[in-house]
Amino acid sequence: MLDIGDDVGALMITTGPALDELEIEISPGTDRTAARTHNQVHVRRSGDQIAYTAVFPSVKAGDYTVWHPDGWAYAEVTVRGGEVTLLDAWG
């Protein structure tokens, strides 16, 4: 379930099977010391389709750094209120 609207969006990160069950972190802006939020990558199936995703269901609108499970900055994303932002990573 997503909790989005006004100034809150969601972020869905797709990965490959190598990151299944690992945690991906995000933090606001580009400050390496900013507080981080994490979610675990899970396999999700729909018919014969398989996807490995980490879902952040309620994220305040703004710019975020996505951190690789090994600790390095992978990407920067912008989350917009009322929308789901998709990032295809490590696929």
Sign of CA dihedral 53, 55, 60, 65: negative
Note if the pTM is more than 0.85.
yes
Which domains are present in the chain? 8-82 (2.60.40)
| pLDDT, tens only, 47-56 | 999 999 999 9
Residue type, 1: M
| pLDDT, tens only, 68-85 | 888 899 999 999 999 999
Q: Is the pLDDT of residue 3 over 90?
A: no
